[in-house]
Amino acid sequence: MSDNCIFCKIVAGQIPSRKVHEDEHVYAFHDIAPWAPVHFLITPKLHIASMAQVGHEHAALMGHMMTLVPGLALQAGCKPYPEGGYRIVLNTGAEGGQEVHHLHMHVMGGPRPWLKG
Ligand code: 5GP
Ligand code: ZN
C-alpha cells in the first residue's frame, strides 16, 4: 500500500466503492464518474503507479486483469460482441490523461451516446 493513494485505500476498504470483482490479486469497482452506461475499473491490489512501471515480472498479473474483462463486462451489463462490446482504456502519465497514479484499466460499454469516449 502506498501512502495517500486513493486506489490503495479503495482496495483496502478504507474508501467505499461499488465492487464488481475481487480476488487475491485484483479489485474491480464502478467508476464514480462514469463516461458510459457501464464503466468500471480493474486495478491490481499491488501498488503500481502506471503502465510505465510495468515489466516482465507483471506479465501474469496483466494477463489476469485482461482475461477478467470478457466475463466482468457481460456481468456489468455490456451486451455481447459483436453488437455490444466495450472499450478498454489504460491512461498513462499526464499526456495520456492519467489522473490517479495507481494502475487501472477502464472498461466502458453500453448503449451510445456516451458522455465521453
Ligand atoms: P484516470 O484518469 O487516472 O485514468 O482515471 C481515474 C478514474 O478514477 C476516473 O474515471 C475517476 O472518475 C475515477 N475515480 C477517481 N476517484 C474515485 C473514487 O474515489 N471512487 C471511484 N469509484 N472512482 C474514482
Ligand atoms: Zn495505490
How does DSSP assign 62-111, residue by residue?
HHHHHHHHHHHHHHHTPPPTTTS-EEEE---STTTT--SSS--EEEEESS
Ligand 2 (ion): which residues have CB within 5 A? 2, 5, 7-8, 47, 102
Spatial strand order in the sheet of 26-30: 19-22, 26-30, 38-44, 105-109, 86-89
Burial of 51 (0-12, 13-18, 19+ CB in 10 A): middle
Out of 30, 39, 48, 99, give the residue to mutate to test ligand 1, the one with the largest number of ligand atoms within 8 Å of its CB.
99
pLDDT at 3: 84
Atom 20 in ligand 1: residue holding the nearest Cα: 32
Distance CA 112, CA 2 (A): 37
Active site annotation includes 104:
yes
Out of 47, 100, 102, 114, give the residue to mutate to test ligand 1, the one with the largest number of ligand atoms within 8 Å of its CB.
100
The x, y and z cell numbers of residue 61, run together, are: 498479473
Q: Judge whether residue 1 has pLDDT over 90.
A: no
20 SS3 class: strand
Tell me what percent of the residues of the chain surpass a pLDDT of 70: 100
pLDDT at 17: 98
Distance CA 4, CA 86 (A): 31
- Indicate the pTM of the whole model: 0.98
